Structure 1
Amino acid sequence: MSRAILAEKLVESLEFDTDPKIQAAWTTEAKKRRDEVRDGSVQPILGEEALAQVRRLLGQ
């Protein structure tokens, strides 16, 4: 869970040069995903495993 908190803080610290509506949509999506990890409705996987899955799919 500490990585989710770190990710949230990093997102909050970024200076966005984007349309405020786009920024709000990304912030909403990031918080939704954070909440899904926190409430257990999704299980995070390591970045290395995610990349391995993508590589396997692309290799098919």
Structure 2
Amino acid sequence: MTDLNTAIQRRRSQIEKIQKELDVLQAAQELLSSAEGEDNGIKRAPAGIVNSGAERSVINRFP
């Protein structure tokens, strides 16, 4: 039963991490959408940068 509890906790931690990354990406998407057609100093990262290091990617996009 301990192994099952450990596996469940590990999966919950993974889900929480993914949810945080999703929240960051959604915020970045909203910012990019609102900035379309405007030159307000926001630098877009090249396609393919967003990965499991989503927080870093978004920080790099909005220095």
| TM interval, short-chain normalised | 0.3 to 0.5
Larger radius of gyration: 2
Q: How does the TM-score come out when normalised to structure 2? A: 0.35
